[in-house]
């Protein structure tokens, strides 16, 4: 195996493991809250745990791959920060795979609690609906387009806007080793302020990997039909929101530094994300 090939594999494996850590903690906290009837946590604990999950995922993968952990981040860095397009497919595939395997681990861990909750009948919605533990579903008043699309576009744009500021070496970045903690706090505040409509997926891998898992683990194709076919929104809107955020950041800040200064490279940036929610009532 050539050195470039080993490098690609090393980075893809880091993205896989970092995303796995992010999603296993994120979905795990939602499972604990939902299956306990909110006696073992609340929406606040979900937001706190998702923020910490992002932080842990960043620390696991940041030094190897930059810890994108989100296809929207990877695509935005390719568009705006010179991240190699040749690596995009490997990063995205690793992120989705990490989220899928994390979903399986949470399912196996909480299998008995899940059966006690729904009597073994896997339902997407309703009083015993549990698909929302894994993937996001909007509130009943949110249509996929335009309201849902706007929700995911805005949430991801806010994420990427701040990530670009954090990772820009010209712009008073955090002290060494602190970026993952700051990004975790960022995800936490997004959940606390923009999580109500649709659960702030803001990450195609965070939503699609777990949704695909539920489709094959007993919930069936309803996970793709539910909420007027919501599933495509967390796939399509976040990349567009992240790319738009790059234009906004560079237009207002990035292109206005004195000449000769360059932003932190895509290779060493420590971007990241993603999150979860209580299922809509």
Yes or no: say if 63 and 245 are a contact pair by the CB < 8 Å rule.
Answer: no
Q: What are phi and psi of 123, to 5 degrees?
A: -125, 145
Distance CA 87, CA 204 (A): 17
Yes or no: say if 78 and 84 are a contact pair by the CB < 8 Å rule.
Answer: yes
What pLDDT is stored for residue 3 in this prediction?
65
DSSP helix/strand/coil, 129: strand
Cα torsion for 102, 276, 21, 8, to the nearest 10°?
A: 90
What pLDDT is stored for residue 5 in this prediction?
72
Q: Is 218 left (phi over 0), alpha (psi -120 to 50) or beta?
A: left
What pLDDT is stored for residue 258 in this prediction?
87
DSSP helix/strand/coil, 123: strand
- Residue 70 is given by DSSP the state S
Residue 93: Cβ within 10 Å count: 15
What pLDDT is stored for residue 1 in this prediction?
64
What pLDDT is stored for residue 264 in this prediction?
57
Distance CA 138, CA 207 (A): 12
What pLDDT is stored for residue 109 in this prediction?
98
List the Cα angle 67/209/58 in 5-degree steps. Answer: 15
Structure pTM? 0.92
Exposure on the CB side of residue 201, measured as CA atoms within 13 A = 38
User: Of 81, 45, 80, 77, which Cα lies nearest the Cα of 276?
Assistant: 45
Q: What is the mean pLDDT of each run of 10 residues along the chain (281 residues)?
A: 78 98 98 97 97 98 97 98 97 98 98 97 96 98 98 98 94 89 98 98 98 98 97 98 98 90 54 42 38
User: Which tokens go with 177?
Assistant: 């080793």
Kindly state the helix (H) or strand (E) to which residue 114 belongs, with its residue range: helix 111-118
Residue 194: Cβ within 10 Å count: 20
Dihedral sign (CA 189, 194, 196, 199): negative
What pLDDT is stored for residue 86 in this prediction?
96
Domains of the chain and CATH, by start? 3-256 (1.20.1080.10)
């Amino acid at each position: 195996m050539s050195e470039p090939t080993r490098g690609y594999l090393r980075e893809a494996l880091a993205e896989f493991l970092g995303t796995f850590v992010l999603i296993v903690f994120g979905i795990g906290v939602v499972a604990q809250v939902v299956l306990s009837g909110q006696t073992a946590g609340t929406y606040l604990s979900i937001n706190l745990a998702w923020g910490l999950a992002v932080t842990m995922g960043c620390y696991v993968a940041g030094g190897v791959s930059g810890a994108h952990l989100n296809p929207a981040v990877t695509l935005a860095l390719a568009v705006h920060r010179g991240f190699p397009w040749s690596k995009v497919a490997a990063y995205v595939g690793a992120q989705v795979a990490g989220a899928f395997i994390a979903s399986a681990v949470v399912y196996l861990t909480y299998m008995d609690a899940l059966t006690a909750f729904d009597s073994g009948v896997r339902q997407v919605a309703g009083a015993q609906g549990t698909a929302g533990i894994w993937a996001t579903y909007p509130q009943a008043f949110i249509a996929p387009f335009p309201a849902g699309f706007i929700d995911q576009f805005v949430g991801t744009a806010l994420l990427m806007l701040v990530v670009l500021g954090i990772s820009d070496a010209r712009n008073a970045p955090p002290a060494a080793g602190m970026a993952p903690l700051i990004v975790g706090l960022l995800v936490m505040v997004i959940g606390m302020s923009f999580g109500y409509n649709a659960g702030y997926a803001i990450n195609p891998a965070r939503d699609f990997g777990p949704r695909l898992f539920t489709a094959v683990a007993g919930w069936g194709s309803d996970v793709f039909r539910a909420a007027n076919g919501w599933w495509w929104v967390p796939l399509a809107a976040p990349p567009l929101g992240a790319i738009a955020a790059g234009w906004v950041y560079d237009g207002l800040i990035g292109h206005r530094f004195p000449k000769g200064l360059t932003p932190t490279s895509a290779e060493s940036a420590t971007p990241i994300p993603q999150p979860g929610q209580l299922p809509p009532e």
